[in-house]
Amino acid sequence: MTTTEFDVTGMTCGHCENAVREEVSGVAGVDAVEVSAGSGLLVVTSAAPVDEAAVLAAVDEAGYEATARR
């Protein structure tokens, strides 16, 4: 399993978390998504390394901005 972390800006509530979770869950290869509006942390779990650009695009589609944590 691979875990990739992202910082998401603009989330303020559970609805925000759900919007990001729903969009990111649709990215090919994603097995699990954890997201916290309080910390701005998005954790994506996958069997193989996930396409970071696809995750960033999914977060953008949800209406937020994200950057990969290094």
Q: Report pLDDT digits (tens) over 1-57.
A: 999 999 999 999 999 999 999 999 999 999 999 999 999 999 999 999 999 999 999
Residues linked to residue 66 through DSSP beta bridges, in sequence order:
8
- The arithmetic mean of pLDDT across residues 63-67, rounded, is 97
Taking each helix axis as running N to C, give the angle between helix 52-62 and helix 14-25, from 0 to 180 degrees, rounded to the nearest 10. 140
How many Cβ atoms sit within 10 Å of the Cβ of residue 19?
A: 18
pLDDT given at position 62: 98
pTM: 0.95
pLDDT given at position 70: 82
In the chain, the number of structural domains is 1
Supply the CATH number for residue 55's domain. 3.30.70.100
Q: How far apart are CA 53 and CA 38, in angstroms?
A: 24
Domain that holds residue 63: 2-68
pLDDT of 64 above 90: yes
Encoded amino acid at 31, one letter: D
